[in-house]
Amino acid sequence: MKVLITGGAGFIGSHLTESLLGDGWEVVGVDCFNDNYGRPEKLRNLERSMEWHGFEFVPIDLARGELYDLVERSDVVFHLAAEPGVRSSWGSRFESYVRNNVMATQHLLEAAQLWPEKRFVYASSSSIYGDAEQLPTPEDVTPRPFSPYGMTKLAGEHLCRIYHGNCGVETVALRYFSVYGPRQRPDMAFTIFCNKALAGEQITVYGDGSQTRDFTYVDDVVRATRAAAVAPDIAGAVFNVGGGSQVSLSQALELLEELVENQLIVSYEQPEKGDVRHTSADTTRTREALGFVPQVPFEQGLARQVEWARSLQLLPRAETS
């Protein structure tokens, strides 16, 4: 099979690409290298994939590029490209979120409607729930985004539903919960925490540390995403993808302190706009329809991310800038 992966140079997209290539799939990865973080990090994410003959990389802007040929020659579309991040989605950057999360998704769905029988897997986010009224949160809870980012990801879900209902596109939306692991974006909490902890620098926590998240290791996210591409009779559906346990930020920092064998220096600040108190995924539907059960416990996943952070510190400075 040949697949199209948007956001192929990103955190999750590069892991998904390598997983599929390893099983003999052909992959076309696209990315526009937007400015949410540096091009060198994204190019490093692609290094292993570039070694495979079955991989092709196409730099393209989904909001305005020619997409029909890319969709036509693919059996499955994995739409992971997005403008990420809750805290940066306010103010003047909101235009980028509308462009890259809403307009780009609509543009890709316009191409996909010509081949509606092809599965279209959309990477959504737990941010669409906001401060959810029920924990663990099932998919039928009314979404209440608490940030501009969450609103744009929900808009993408609505577009998928529209193109499924009107055009028959085989859309499936996956609501990822707090994904972590090697290659996590430099602006995300665990990347910052690991780097600060290893360097003996102060870590800033926004909130009192008792807030909880359903942290999900990236390999588990890849397994769920792959399952969504081939599971029968799920067109038009939405699924939670969570790690299976609520962990407080304080608990995560205690474990990090053990892993780096260095006492952490932590300061606490007021929560920032868009931050929610708790997240927890009810994955009953995902288990029944996709056969998804998370396999990587939090302790093991965080240890892997710490080792990845250590490995980057050994690289020459020019390669990490």
Whether the CB-CB separation of 37 and 185 falls below 8 Å is answered with yes
Tell me, yes or no, whether 45 lies in a domain.
yes
Tell me, yes or no, whether 84 lies in a domain.
yes
Listed residue (38, 156, 64, 225) closest to 30, CA to CA = 64
The answer to whether residue 149 is catalytic is yes
Q: Please identify which of the residues 149, 163, 176, 217 carries the catalytic annotation.
A: 149
Tell me, yes or no, whether 34 lies in a domain.
yes
Give the Å distances, CA to CA, from 19 to 188, 226, 289, 312.
23, 9, 21, 22
pLDDT at 313: 82
What is the rounded (10 degree) CA torsion for 55, 57, 61, 67? -50
pLDDT at 62: 96
C-alpha neighbours within 13 Å on the C-beta side of residue 128 = 26
Tell me, yes or no, whether 309 lies in a domain.
no
pLDDT at 316: 55
Whether the CB-CB separation of 246 and 212 falls below 8 Å is answered with yes
In terms of residue numbers, what domain contains 17? Answer: 2-181+217-242+280-295
Instruction: Count up the domains in the chain and report the number.
Output: 1
Give the number of other CB atoms < 10 A from CB of residue 35: 10
pLDDT at 33: 85
Tell me, yes or no, whether 135 lies in a domain.
yes
Whether the CB-CB separation of 225 and 123 falls below 8 Å is answered with yes
Query: 285-297 in b/e burial notation, b at 16+ Cβ within 10 A?
Result: bbeebbebebebe
pLDDT in tens, 89-126: 999 999 999 999 999 999 999 999 999 999 999 999 99
pLDDT at 251: 98
Tell me, yes or no, whether 186 lies in a domain.
no
Q: Is 267 exposed, middle or buried (0-12, 13-18, 19+ CB in 10 A)?
A: exposed
Cis peptide before 59 (omega within 30 of 0): no
pLDDT at 315: 60
> What are the residue ranges in the chain where pLDDT is below 70?
315-321
Assign residue 89 the CATH number of its domain: 3.40.50.720
Tell me, yes or no, whether 237 lies in a domain.
yes
